[in-house]
Amino acid sequence: MDDAELRAELERYHPESYGWALSCCARNRDEADEVLQIVYLKILAGRARFGGRATFKTWLFSVIRRTAIDEWRRRVVRRLALMSHEESGVRVAREEAADEAVERSQIRAMFCRALGALPRRQREVLQLVFYHDLSLQEAADVMDVSLGSARTHYDRGKKRLRHSWKH
């Protein structure tokens, strides 16, 4: 795939990529922006290469997921380092996350809470299948799990969501 084709595919999937990055970053827009920027830089610099073994979308989503996990780990290490400095008496300026006032309908808020309460794997597979129109096999590829494992998480997640709607 040449550079022009690569850029065209990235543009084509940008809205869905951003949605998946949001999901991988616990709905934090700043973190999702940062992760997506890192992903695009990796791809355009050739550090992440599309091998054609899966669809471009599946490959791209797996790069986003892995990058989000790596960035989360880096943030945790930084926070731990900051905490150790604070404990030793060094004052560190803390960033306060800006409140995002997003109005949602009551049903959407309930659904988001129910989805967020699911275990990570169940939540990921449901988001990939329902929000990003991936097949279970493609979702399994993105999540780096077997198809059987993806099916199990998918079925259990749907059952938990149904149960939470009844109560």
pLDDT tens-digit readout, 81-136? 666 555 555 444 444 434 333 433 566 677 778 888 899 999 999 888 888 888 89
DSSP state for residue 127 in the 8-state scheme: I
Same domain, 124 and 55: no
Average pLDDT, the chain: 83
Q: What is the torsional sign of CA 160, 154, 143, 23?
A: negative
Q: Give one DSSP letter per residue of 29-53, joined into a string.
A: HHHHHHHHHHHHHHHHHTSS---SS
| Two tokens, residue 150 | 């993806």
Average pLDDT over residues 69-82: 77
Predicted pLDDT at 145: 94
Predicted pLDDT at 105: 59
- Give the residue from 61, 84, 101 where a domain finishes: 101
Please report, for the domain that includes residue 151, its CATH number: 1.10.10.10
Asked whether the whole model's pTM tops 0.85, one would answer no
Tally the domains of the chain.
2
- Give the residue from 101, 117, 151 where a domain finishes: 101
Q: Regarding predicted confidence, which is higher, 115 or 24?
A: 24
Average pLDDT over residues 30-50: 94
Same domain, 117 and 92: no
Average pLDDT over residues 134-151: 92
Closest among 122, 130, 118, 127 to 150, alpha carbons compared:
122
Same domain, 64 and 107: no
Same domain, 87 and 152: no
CA distance linking residue 5 with residue 1, whole number of Å: 6
Average pLDDT over residues 135-140: 91
Same domain, 17 and 94: yes
Does the pLDDT of residue 58 top 70, yes or no?
A: yes
State CA 123 to chain mean position distance. 10
Average pLDDT over residues 7-21: 95
- Give the residue from 101, 120, 149 where a domain finishes: 101
CA distance linking residue 16 with residue 84, whole number of Å: 38
Amino acid letter, 30:
D
Does the pLDDT of residue 22 top 80, yes or no?
A: yes
Same domain, 139 and 107: yes
Same domain, 89 and 125: no
How far apart, in Å, are the Cα atoms of 32 and each of 2, 39, 45, 62? 26, 10, 20, 14
Predicted pLDDT at 91: 44
Closest among 19, 10, 8 to 128, alpha carbons compared:
19
Same domain, 76 and 141: no
Domain interval for residue 116: 103-167
Q: Regarding predicted confidence, which is higher, 93 or 38?
A: 38
